[in-house]
């Protein structure tokens, strides 16, 4: 319970600090912001290029994962059909080798 109260107090403190910072932001003069030169990275981030790149990436990923899903479903169908062919028709499966002694005896018989 102490940990919960401590976490709650810390969150309220961070919220208060964030609120005070947000209130003080409008006080920054616009003239000072215009005087600062914007760098290449800042101009790139504020342009429309990142939004277009994100849109293209989302479109590509959507199509890629959709096609991957179709391929996986086709592979699943193929494997299911192969399993059905291998499965015995009567539903009772007998082991091919009952134990290892039988297998070794068969090998000995073949050698003789």
Question: pLDDT tens digits, residue range 56-110?
Answer: 999 999 999 999 999 999 999 999 999 888 877 666 655 555 666 666 776 677 6
Does residue 42 form part of some domain? yes
CA angle at residue 89 from 87 to 93, to 5 degrees?
A: 60
Does residue 27 form part of some domain? no
Does residue 71 form part of some domain? yes
CA angle at residue 79 from 73 to 83, to 5 degrees?
A: 140
Does residue 68 form part of some domain? yes
Does residue 53 form part of some domain? yes
pTM comes to 0.42
Does residue 60 form part of some domain? yes
Query: Tens of pLDDT along 10-41?
Result: 998 989 988 888 877 766 565 555 555 777 77
Does residue 75 form part of some domain? yes
How many structural domains are present in the chain? 1
Q: By residue range, what is the domain housing residue 81?
A: 37-86
- 103 in Cβ contact with 97 (< 8 Å): yes
């Amino acid at each position: 319970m102490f940990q919960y109260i401590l976490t709650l107090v810390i969150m309220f403190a961070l919220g208060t600090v964030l609120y005070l910072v947000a209130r003080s932001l409008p006080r920054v003069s616009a003239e000072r912001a215009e005087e600062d030169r914007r760098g290449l990275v800042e101009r790139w981030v504020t342009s429309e290029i990142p939004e277009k790149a994100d849109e293209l990436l989302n479109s590509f990923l959507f199509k890629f994962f959709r096609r991957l899903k179709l391929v996986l479903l086709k592979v699943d169908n193929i494997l299911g059909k192969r399993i059905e062919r291998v499965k015995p028709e009567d539903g009772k499966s007998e082991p091919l080798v009952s134990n290892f002694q039988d297998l070794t005896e068969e090998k000995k018989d073949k050698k003789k």
